[in-house]
Amino acid sequence: MMTENQRKAIRVDLQLIADMIEPNSRVLDIGCEDGTLLDYLVNFKQVDGRGIELSTEGVNACVSAGLPVIQGDADTDLATYPDN
């Protein structure tokens, strides 16, 4: 879980994206990298968030942080990602 200091350190581009997301909405973060944005959204905007990430390192970082992320390629694997 992200601490208050980490929240303050979120990258400006990620903060701009987060500002567009309504609290309590559902989000699929495609290419979630290490989960920084997803973690922020889950913990500070109470979204129901999931992620898909290509790199093993990114998936491991997300899973270690308790984030629901799967490893996959958005170009090919989104077709099999469940609707809703």
pLDDT tens profile 15-47: 999 999 999 999 999 999 999 999 999 999 999
Give the model's confidence band at 3: pLDDT under 50 very low, under 70 low, under 90 confident, else very high: low
| pTM: predicted TM-score of the whole model, two decimal places | 0.84
Query: Long-range contacts for 27-36 (Cβ within 8 Å, ≥24 apart)?
Result: 28/52, 28/81, 30/74, 30/78, 31/74, 32/58, 32/62, 32/67, 32/69, 33/58, 33/61, 34/58, 34/61, 34/62, 35/61, 35/62, 35/65, 35/67, 35/69, 36/2, 36/10, 36/11
Task: Write down the pLDDT at residue 32.
Answer: 96
| Predicted confidence (pLDDT) at residue 2 exceeds the cutoff of 70 | no
